[in-house]
Structure 1
C-alpha cells in the first residue's frame, strides 16, 4: 500500500509571504526591488494565482533573511509531515 503525503498548504505559504511583507511595511515595489522579481509575480503569488519557482522563493528568502526551510515550513501547516505518524 502506498501512503501519499498530505497536500502542501499553499494558502499558508502565500499568507506567510503577505505577513513577512506586511511586518516590514514593504510595498510590492519595494519587495520587487529587493528581489529583482517583477511586481506582477509577487502579486500573483500573494493572491494565489501562481506558486512561484524555487528560484523565486530563494530570492524571497534572501530578501526577508529567512532560510528556505523557514519559508517552506508553512507548507505543512494543518498536517503532520510524512513519516511523523509511522508506527
Structure 2
C-alpha cells in the first residue's frame, strides 16, 4: 500500500498539552475506524507549528477524506517513493 507524508500547518502545535494530543489522536483514530482498514495512521511528528503525519493509504483521496472528516488540515500530501536509513549504505 502506498505511504504518504501529510504536512499539517497548525500554529502552536508544539505547545499542545498531552491531553490535547490525546484528544487529537482519538479523533483521528475514530475517523480511521469509520473509513475502514484501507487507510492507516503510522505516526506523526509534532513540531512548533506543524504536524508531519505518516499514513498508509490507497490514494491521496483517502487522505483528504480523513482530513475533512477529522477536521484537520492537510496542507501538503506527498507520496513516499522510497525509504532509506543508515542500513541503505551497507553492501
Q: Same fold (TM over 0.5)?
A: no
Q: Which has the higher strand share?
A: 2
Q: Which has the higher helix share?
A: 1
What TM-score does the superposition give when structure 1 sets the normalisation length? 0.35
What TM-score does the superposition give when structure 2 sets the normalisation length? 0.34
